[in-house]
Amino acid sequence: MPFVNIKTPEAALTAEQKAEIGHRITDLLVEFFSEAARPHTMVLIEEVKDGGYYRADEPFVIPDDYRAA
């Protein structure tokens, strides 16, 4: 069973964008594993709260311009 885990900043993507990512990743994996993999493919998109991860030794907070509208 293919499994993909994506971590993204909280509120960076809309529900529609997350659904599109799930569909596209599933289609990509089906290209490699065959159509038989589709019903068994899992795509998990986790949202990480602002300040919940670090970049360059500093807590990361997503800029307002990058938040989903």
Query: Where are the chain's structural domains?
Result: 3-66
Distance CA 47, CA 44 (A): 10
Measured in degrees and rounded to the nearest 5, phi and psi for residue 52 equal: -85, 0
| 18-67 pLDDT, tens digit each | 999 999 999 999 999 999 999 999 999 999 988 888 888 888 888 888 88
* Superfamily of the domain at 3-66: Macrophage Migration Inhibitory Factor (3.30.429.10)
The one-character DSSP state at 34 is: -
User: Is residue 11 within 8 Å of residue 46, measured between CB atoms?
Assistant: no
pLDDT in tens, 2-18: 999 999 988 899 999 99
Whole-model pTM above 0.75? yes
